Structure 1
Amino acid sequence: MKFVAYARELQGTGASRRLRVSGKVPGIVYGAGQPASIELDHNALFHALKKEAFHSSVLEMDLAGKSEKVVLRDVQMHAFKPLVLHVDFQRVDSTTRIHKKVPLHFVNEAESQAVKFDKCLITHVIASVEIECLAEKLPEFLTVDLGGLAKGQSLHIDDIKLDEGVKIITHGKKNPVVATVVPIVEEEIVVAAAPAPAKGKAAKGKK
């Protein structure tokens, strides 16, 4: 994915506030040289951030007519407004090793024995994982094939197929569960018995 950035000359809180008022977003690019202060068009960035690939791909940034490869590192959003306050990027090249969260795409769930024949549900325990790899090997997402699951089974991190040089970071957890088969529990409808009619009239209280 490509995007355009512009050199930002003025620094400080006041300058950043004026940028936001004018429809721009302040940002910074660091790594592989001196950090560079940048500004981006807010609307273009806001729509780009809605795309999954913008968060988990190597991006091509056009800055002052020069193309640089970067990855998105941090985004600061307004607490309740749809407003981007600041954005950070990291320069990368063919030798840069990075840690990055990437989403999981689940496939073949409906075709699995668990769903098709065992009439179970498959619960997605996690939606993304942190990986370590060279920047040029960064996958946009990892595919998780659920087609082999049956009743009583689970799929773990070690079951995910990875390209050479890509490693999933589990932070000390041994082979965490990614998805698990859950039987459908049919709810029992309990009909409450109607109260028996009272015999005679209720006793009147003493005057």
Structure 2
Amino acid sequence: MSRPLLRSEVRAGTGKSHLKVIRSEGYVPGTVYGHNKESKNVCFPRKELEHLLGKYGVGASVELLIGDEVRHAIIKDIHRHIIKQNVLHIDLQELDASEKVKVKIPLHLTNKAAVESSVSVVQHQITELEIQTYPKHLPQMIEVDASSIKFGEPMRIKDLAVYADVNIEVLHDPEEIVALIASASKDVVVEEVSEEEKLRKLY
């Protein structure tokens, strides 16, 4: 499975003043940790990181380049400015090929336009799926074809292809609804009342 490359550099400092300098130089501070592994303080080129986060989010698998070493990692948390929404810090988990990992993967609905109309809409009940598997089997995202959903027959966890994958354990109730087709709500037409009619009602 192809994974995006994310470059990083090891950083020595940890204080607020150090982080401020890092950000002013065009980098985003971050931390890389893993099971039975020492945490590493790193930083990422801001433009490269923001470009990657424009396509991927929490739960995505990346090839993390630290110095000359490439490691398999997943994005665990993204800290953003509460108002500006720019990335302030990012946490990644380094993976061990011999250990299973539990992670939430984005679940995207495709082909919604094929089934939606003036009288029906697709309601997306679950936007991410929690799974457990070995790193080599981690998907970047799970896509569900909405055109396969029928009115009155909700798509459930047990209907997903990933649920039948012997390499992946889906940590949800198999009967949980993923998406369904519902009747579209009718627009309420509000009649405008003229000033003359308002006065007539008052008197």
State the TM-score, normalized to the length of structure 1. Answer: 0.79
2:18 counterpart residue number? 15
Structure 1 pair 188–35 and aligned structure 2 pair: CA distance change class (3 A):
closer
Q: CA–CA distance in 1 between the matches of 2:25 and 2:190?
A: 62
Q: For residues 108 and 82 of structure 1, do their structure 2 counterparts lie closer, same or farther at Cα, with a shift above 3 Å needed?
A: closer
Corresponding residue to 1:166 among 158, 165, 168: 168
* Structure of higher CA gyration radius: 1
Structure 1: segments with no counterpart, 5+ residues: 203-207
Q: Which residue of 1 aligns with 2:100?
A: 97
**1:46 equivalent in structure 2:** 50
CA distance in 2, matches of 1:98, 1:109: 31
Q: Match for 1:61 among 64, 69, 75?
A: 64
Q: Name the aligned partner's letter for residue 144 of structure 1.
A: V
Q: Would the alpha carbon gap of residues 111 and 79 (structure 1) be closer, same or farther in structure 2, given more than 3 Å must change?
A: closer
**Length-normalised TM-score, structure 2:** 0.80
Does structure 2 conserve the Cα–Cα contact (< 8 Å) formed by 1:56 and 1:139?
no
Cα distance, 1:69–1:175 mapped onto 2, change above 3 Å: same
Flag the 1:160–1:193 CA change in 2: closer, same or farther, 3 A.
same
Segments of 5+ residues of structure 2 without an aligned counterpart are none
What one-letter code is carried by the residue in structure 2 that aligns with 1:145?
A: D
Higher helix share: 2
| Contact 2:10/2:43 (<8 A) preserved | yes
CA RMSD of aligned residues (A): 2.8
Alignment CA distance shift 1:57-1:83 (3 Å): closer
What's 1:84 paired with? 87
| Matched residue SS, 1:158 | helix
- The size of the alignment, in residue pairs, is 193
Is the deviation greater in 23-32 or in 143-152? 143-152
Question: Is the contact between residue 93 and residue 136 of structure 1 (CA under 8 Å) also seen in structure 2?
Answer: no
Residue 159 of structure 1 deviates from its aligned partner by 1.1
**Inter-CA distance 189–69: structure 2 relative to 1 (3 Å threshold):** closer
Q: State the 1:103 CA deviation.
A: 1.5
Q: 1:85 to 1:188 in 2, by over 3 A?
A: closer
